[in-house]
Amino acid sequence: MVIIKKNDLISIIQNTETFKNPKIELEQYSIDATCAVDFIYFAGFEFNDITDNLLFDLGAGTGRLSIASAYFSPRAIVSVDLDWKALQVLKNTINSLHLKTVIHPVCTNIKDLSLSKFIFKNKFKTTTIMNPPFGVKKKRADRIFLEKAFSFSDVVYSIHLSGEKNFAFISDFAHQFEWIVDYHIKYNMILEKSFEFHKKKTKKIDVTIYRFIKK
């Protein structure tokens, strides 16, 4: 159950602190507030996959998706990221918004995250949300995120670059783990200026938001 108006939630996310010194090799771009909230409304309002669920945010960064999700009354949110400095920013935001009992940051490499679906079986539903690296710096860097999410989740939401080839690859990759693309929607994400070589304050990119379920 959402406990806040959408515009109010966008305002909260817009005012959260983002990366202080983003790492280009990790493709650390902050998702814009509107996109973050639209994404969470897609998962939490349209499909009711957040309320009372255990939520994992893989590659959480400074936690904009985690924070937005916290207002949909999840059981708990586990925000996983390799960069402890980014998680420290998230911790500061958690404290200022009084969300310490909801959001739990975990610093580890995604490939080292070990979870078993049997731990949660018959207890509660597990949802994974993520905005993984697009693979611009490291080709297909998003694969480990999808593979890890498929290993323990009941439903997975993920953002990827749009395009027919990319859609075909992601669909085929999901099939390898006996998952399917249940729903997808194209979206214009606004990337805010993060690095010195960025000439514009913002850049619009075409992305697709995926909802994956087990076959």
Question: What CATH number is given to the structural domain containing 203?
Answer: 3.40.50.150
Phi, psi angle pair for 35, to nearest 5°: -65, -45
Is residue 47 in a domain? yes
Is residue 11 in a domain? no
Q: Given this model, what pLDDT does residue 19 score?
A: 73
CA atoms within 13 A on the CB side of 142: 20
Residue 22 in contact with residue 89, Cβ under 8 Å?
no
The pair of structure tokens assigned to 195 is 């690095």
Is residue 9 in a domain? no
Start-to-end Cα distance in the chain: 27
Reported pTM: 0.91
Q: Given this model, what pLDDT does residue 124 score?
A: 83
Q: Given this model, what pLDDT does residue 123 score?
A: 75
Residue 142 in contact with residue 133, Cβ under 8 Å?
yes
Q: What is the domain extent for residue 179? A: 18-214
**Average pLDDT over every residue of 25-31:** 68
Provide the mean pLDDT of the chain.
89
Is residue 12 in a domain? no
Q: How many domains in the chain?
A: 1
The side-by-side arrangement of strands in the sheet containing 76-81 is: 103-107, 76-81, 54-58, 126-130, 155-161, 202-214, 179-192
Reported as a single tens digit per residue, the pLDDT across 76-105 is: 999 999 999 999 999 999 999 999 999 999
Q: Given this model, what pLDDT does residue 156 score?
A: 98
50 pLDDT more than 80: yes
d(CA 100, CA 89) in angstroms, rounded, equals 13
